[in-house]
Amino acid sequence: MARYTISDVKTYEGDNMSDAKTVTLRVGGRKVDSLCKAVERTTDLKTLNGLGNGIINECYIDLTLDKLRELDDDTDAQTAYIKSRSRFLDSDNLRIMVIKLKLEKDQRLNDLDYGYLMSLLDWSNNDLPLMPLLEFGEGVETPIQLQIYQDFVNQILERRFNYGRLSDIAMSIPLYYPRRRLERLFESYHDIKPTFVAMDLSNKRVDSIPDGKYSTIKEYLSRDGIDNTFLYGINVKPCKNGGSSVSALDVQSIHWSFNATGPTHHKPVKRVIVPNDWSNAGRVFDKGELQYTRFDDGNLGPFIEWVDGNYGFSFDVDYSKNERSTYSYLKRYNFINANRELMEVSESLRKGETEVVDHAFDRLPVGLRGK
Amino acid sequence: MRMEYDEDLIEDILYDIEEQECDKLVLILVGSRQQPMMKTRIQKMSLIYNQAYTTNREHEAYYFGGYSDDIDESYTSLLETGVLMSKSSGYVLSEFGENLISVLKNKGNDKELVDRIGRMEQSLGSIEDKSLVAITYELFPDLAEKSTIARSISPLIKSLMLNDKPLVDWNADEFLNHVRKGEIIHTRRG
């Protein structure tokens, strides 16, 4: 019996080439009934409460093979490790554990390792078990990565019968999987026919993935006329770096069929020393244009007011006078506003209206509208 | 011993790369150079390529001059998928990457791209990375507007000679014509 269900499908039926679709994803008493951005590292309880429940709480567990072996099947150690990387586990949001296991060159999993991994996946707070992803250390070439991942998927699928909660494990697709090999990956899940599929973008933007990959995934998801599907993006870069105003591609991901996207987990490799002023303080989500833009006279005031209203202090318009970092507050401000926009789109789709989606689509750069 | 790769798999991987202009460009740029290629050089060479041959103006003014997020994503993902390897703070092709290039070179579709990059490397190959940065700052000044290192590059711009003529006396068209023809540009400090 499927542990998760996807229902209440409402698809965009306007004239644009948007694949926007809203659904209700349910697991037990928890549900996600709106397009959304998943909880981020900077999200706090105040921000979360401001949205109400109904979004995805991604618990991103990255670990090395050595760490997996260190945890073995000690549930206390596993729980401690998971908790060190997750938050709001007691909230009513739907918790999805995204495990990314890093294998260095020449490292391979043995029987015991698979046991540890299954035990981790079976963690009681993991509402929707998802096929873990594998990441590789440098020097592991694509053919080897594909072979290892395919064997890994087969192993997990075989072992899932020993863990009742994992019987309908959802599917994950690593970035390195070529489009023309996806069929084999889907075939591995033939007896599950997963309707929840997570695609790892590995810190790329949604428009950086070859269009053909989306159409292939969509084709498989809609096979046999099934439309109750949920596409989740892992490790999604929200917008382009560079440029002053750039498309909010995290929100615009709805046109590529995404029902929800998670935050990026890549850390910047290089710190850049920039002038200490608002124009370099990060980008702010512009709801009207669906862009991320640099701070200016128009958007600075509302941000300062929002921080004041929610946290009881004001940032100074003279950036150099601020003692606190603006980073986490800006991330929360963007998070709540982007999610509100997505909720509005969902509401519009449910009513069978097209205007809000059309408005969003029209704000895509021209080159992306024929996606 | 050279590894044997499944030809179908190489075709399948190339199928995706061919849909991604930036991936292809980075792959061929790195493959055209005999030594490790730094990120900065990949950014500047792709900028010059786009200026010389395409209407693509994806490079934007950023903290280190002209920068393309697409190119950045490309070398990162080619590294993650083992097509590139890091070496001496730069990138080189892995054995698998070399296999991909050799198949790509034999394909009619990309022959022009390979030839153009070959000529570009012939023209600019001897120019060191910092001088290449200075050239892009001087010839494409719009892309240097946000730079946080402009002040440190400025003395080099003033003193750099390209084929015995000061960089400041060159214009973009003249430079790009040399690149298109594969005419060697050598540099020295004046």
CA distance A149 to B44: 35
Task: Please count the residues of chain B.
Answer: 190
Number of structural domains in chain B: 1
Q: How distant is the Cα of A281 from the closest Cα of chain B, in angstroms?
A: 13
CA distance A120 to A78: 7
Q: Which helix (H) or strand (E) holds B27?
A: helix B21-32
Residue A370, classified by CB atoms within 10 Å of its CB into exposed (0-12), middle (13-18) or buried (19+), is exposed
Mean pLDDT of chain B: 93
Buried b (16+ CB within 10 A) or exposed e, A210-220: beebbebbeeb
Interface of B with A (CB under 8 A): 5-6, 9, 11-13, 15-16, 19-20, 59-64, 67-70, 72-73, 76-77, 79-83, 85-86, 94-96, 148
Is B2 part of any domain? no
CA distance B48 to B40: 12
Mean pLDDT of chain A: 92
Is B98 part of any domain? yes
Look up the domain containing B171 and give its range.
7-189
CA distance A46 to A88: 11
- State both tokens at A330: 């800006």
Residue A279's closest chain B neighbor by CA? Answer: B146
Is the pLDDT confidence value at B119 over 50? yes
Q: How distant is the Cα of B88 from the closest Cα of chain A, in angstroms?
A: 14
CA distance A22 to A17: 16
Q: How distant is the Cα of A204 from the closest Cα of chain B, in angstroms?
A: 6
Mutation pick from B11, B77, B152 vs chain A, by most beta carbons of A within 10 Å, is B77
Give the model confidence (pLDDT) of A314-341 as tens digits. 999 999 999 999 999 999 999 999 999 9
Is B1 part of any domain? no
- The answer to whether the beta carbons of residues A133 and A122 sit under 8 Å apart is no
CB contact residues (below 8 A), chain A span 116-155, against chain B: 135-136, 138-146
pLDDT value at residue B111? 87
CA distance A7 to A229: 8
Per DSSP bridges, beta strands B160-162 and B187-189 are antiparallel
Instruction: Give the list of residues 6+ apart from residue A56 with CB closer than 8 angstroms, or none.
Output: A32, A36, A38, A39, A93, A94, A96, A232, A260, A262
- The answer to whether residue A212 neighbours chain B at the CB level (below 8 Å) is yes
Contact B82 A210 (CB under 8 A): no
Contact B94 A181 (CB under 8 A): no
- 3-state DSSP call for residue B86? strand
pLDDT value at residue A1? 43
Of the pLDDT bands very low, low, confident and very high (cuts 50, 70, 90), residue A3 is confident
Among A110, A85, A91, A15, CA closest to A51 = A91
CB contact residues (below 8 A), chain A span 28-57, against chain B: none
Q: How distant is the Cα of B143 from the closest Cα of chain A, in angstroms?
A: 10
Contacts of A175 in chain B (CB under 8 A): 77, 80-81
Q: Quick one: average pLDDT of A247-261?
A: 97
Residue given tokens 């991901």 in the structure block: A253
Interface predicted TM-score (ipTM) of this complex, two decimals: 0.88
Among A147, A172, A62, A155, CA closest to A115 = A155
Mutation pick from A105, A142, A150, A179 vs chain B, by most beta carbons of B within 10 Å, is A142
- The answer to whether the beta carbons of residues A62 and A86 sit under 8 Å apart is no
Contacts of A242 in chain B (CB under 8 A): 59-62, 67-69
Is B37 part of any domain? yes
Q: What is residue A25's DSSP assignment?
A: E
Mutation pick from B73, B79, B87, B93 vs chain A, by most beta carbons of A within 10 Å, is B73
CA distance A24 to A251: 18
Is the pLDDT confidence value at A89 over 90? no
Give the model confidence (pLDDT) of A279-320 as tens digits. 889 999 999 999 999 999 999 999 999 999 999 999 999 999
Q: How distant is the Cα of B3 from the closest Cα of chain A, in angstroms?
A: 11
Contact A180 B79 (CB under 8 A): no
Contact B12 A273 (CB under 8 A): no
Mutation pick from B5, B80, B142, B152 vs chain A, by most beta carbons of A within 10 Å, is B80
- 3-state DSSP call for residue A199? strand
Q: How distant is the Cα of B163 from the closest Cα of chain A, in angstroms?
A: 33
Measured from the Cβ of residue B55, the count of other Cβ atoms closer than 10 Å reads 6
- The answer to whether the beta carbons of residues B49 and B116 sit under 8 Å apart is yes
CATH code for the structural domain at A4-267: 3.20.20
Mutation pick from B55, B69, B87 vs chain A, by most beta carbons of A within 10 Å, is B69
Ramachandran class of A352: left when φ > 0, alpha when ψ lies in -120 to 50, beta otherwise = left
Among B75, B70, B93, B73, CA closest to B83 = B93
pLDDT-above-90 percentage for chain B:
75
Handedness of CA A32, A36, A42, A45 (dihedral sign): negative
CA distance B98 to A137: 19
- The answer to whether the beta carbons of residues A361 and A255 sit under 8 Å apart is yes
Residue B8, classified by CB atoms within 10 Å of its CB into exposed (0-12), middle (13-18) or buried (19+), is exposed
Contact A202 B5 (CB under 8 A): no
Instruction: Give the list of residues 6+ apart from residue A10 with CB closer than 8 angstroms, or none.
Output: A21, A22, A23, A349, A350, A352
What's the gap between Cα B187 and its chain centre?
Answer: 18
Contacts of B68 in chain A (CB under 8 A): 242
CA distance A219 to A147: 24
Q: How distant is the Cα of A75 from the closest Cα of chain B, in angstroms?
A: 32
pLDDT value at residue A273? 75
Give A198's strand partners. A172, A232
CA distance A167 to A160: 6
Is the pLDDT confidence value at B142 over 60? yes
Contacts of B70 in chain A (CB under 8 A): 208
CA distance B153 to B144: 10
Contacts of A136 in chain B (CB under 8 A): 80, 82
- 3-state DSSP call for residue A26? strand
Is the pLDDT confidence value at A255 over 90? yes
Give the model confidence (pLDDT) of A141-179 as tens digits. 999 999 999 999 999 999 999 998 899 999 999 999 999
pLDDT value at residue A2? 53
- State both tokens at B29: 């740029």
Buried b (16+ CB within 10 A) or exposed e, A52-76: eebbbbbbbbebebeebeebeeeee
Is B61 part of any domain? yes
